[in-house]
Amino acid sequence: MESELSPAHGVSSSVRVLRIEIVSDPPPNSDIKNATVARVRTLRIKSRMLATKSPFFYKLFSNGTTGSELKHVTLRINASEAVLMKLLRFMCSNPLNAPPVLYKFEVSSCRSQLLPNLPMAPDSPLLYVELPHTILMADAAKQYLAGQYKDLTKFKEEVMALPLSGIEVILASDHLRVKSEDDVYDFVLKWARQHYKRRKERREVLGTRLGRLIRFPYMTCRKLEKVLICDDFTHKAASKLVFEALFFKAQQSLTASASLNSRFVERAYKYRPVKVVEFEVPRQQCVVYLDLKREECAALFPSGRVKSQTFHLCGRKFLLLGACSLNKRGTSRCFELAVGMKKKSSGSFVVDCEFAARSRPAKEFVTKYKSHYTFTGGTFVGTGNLFKVTWSKFMAEDSPFFINGVLHLKAEFTVRH
The tens digit of pLDDT for each residue in 125-170 reads: 665 565 544 444 567 678 878 888 888 888 888 899 888 988 999 9
CA distance linking residue 51 with residue 72, whole number of Å: 15
The tens digit of pLDDT for each residue in 186-229 reads: 999 999 999 999 999 999 999 999 999 999 999 998 899 999 99
Query: Using an 8 Å Cβ cutoff, are 209 and 164 in contact?
Result: yes
The burial of 129, by beta-carbon neighbours within 10 Å (0-12 exposed, 13-18 middle, 19 or more buried), is given as buried
For every residue of 316-380, DSSP letters joined together read EEEEEEEEEEE-TTSSSEEEEEEEEE-TT----EEEEEEEEEEETTTTEEEEEEEEEEEE-TT-E
CA distance linking residue 306 with residue 296, whole number of Å: 9
Query: What single DSSP character describes residue 133?
Result: S
The 3-state DSSP class for residue 23 equals: strand
Same CATH fold assignment for domains 5-143 and 273-415: no
Integer-rounded Cα radius of gyration of the chain: 30
CA distances from 5 to 16, 59, 97 (A): 10, 19, 18
pLDDT band for position 16 (cuts 50, 70, 90): confident
Query: Using an 8 Å Cβ cutoff, are 355 and 407 in contact?
Result: no
The residues near 197 (Cβ < 8 Å, ≥ 6 apart) are none
Kindly report which listed range (284-288, 314-318, 335-339, 358-362) carries the lowest average pLDDT score.
Answer: 314-318
Task: Determine the topology of domain 149-264 in CATH.
Answer: 1.25.40
Orientation angle between helical segments 221-228 and 235-250, nearest 10 degrees:
160
Which residue ranges make up each domain of the chain? 5-143, 149-264, 273-415
Beta strand segments in 209-332, E: 271-272, 274-279, 285-293, 305-308, 311-313, 316-326
Tell me: pLDDT of 268 over 60.
yes
The residues near 167 (Cβ < 8 Å, ≥ 6 apart) are 159, 188, 191, 210
Q: What is the mean pLDDT of the chain?
A: 80
The tens digit of pLDDT for each residue in 45-101 reads: 777 767 666 667 777 776 655 445 667 888 888 877 666 776 776 666 544 344 445
The tens digit of pLDDT for each residue in 371-413 reads: 999 988 777 899 999 999 999 999 999 999 999 999 999 999 9
CA distance linking residue 405 with residue 199, whole number of Å: 45
The residue type of 257 is S
Which of 79-83, 85-89, 255-259, 361-365 has the highest mean predicted lDDT (pLDDT)? Answer: 361-365
Task: Determine the topology of domain 273-415 in CATH.
Answer: 2.60.210
Query: Using an 8 Å Cβ cutoff, are 339 and 319 in contact?
Result: yes
The residues near 360 (Cβ < 8 Å, ≥ 6 apart) are 400, 403
Domain 5-143, classified CATH 1.10.3470, yes or no: no
List the helix and strand counts (H, then E) for the chain: 15, 16
pLDDT at 57: 74
What is the number of alpha carbons within 13 Å of residue 245 lying toward its C-beta? 30
Q: Is the dihedral of CA 92, 97, 101, 103 positive or negative?
A: positive
pLDDT at 402: 97
CA distance linking residue 341 with residue 348, whole number of Å: 10
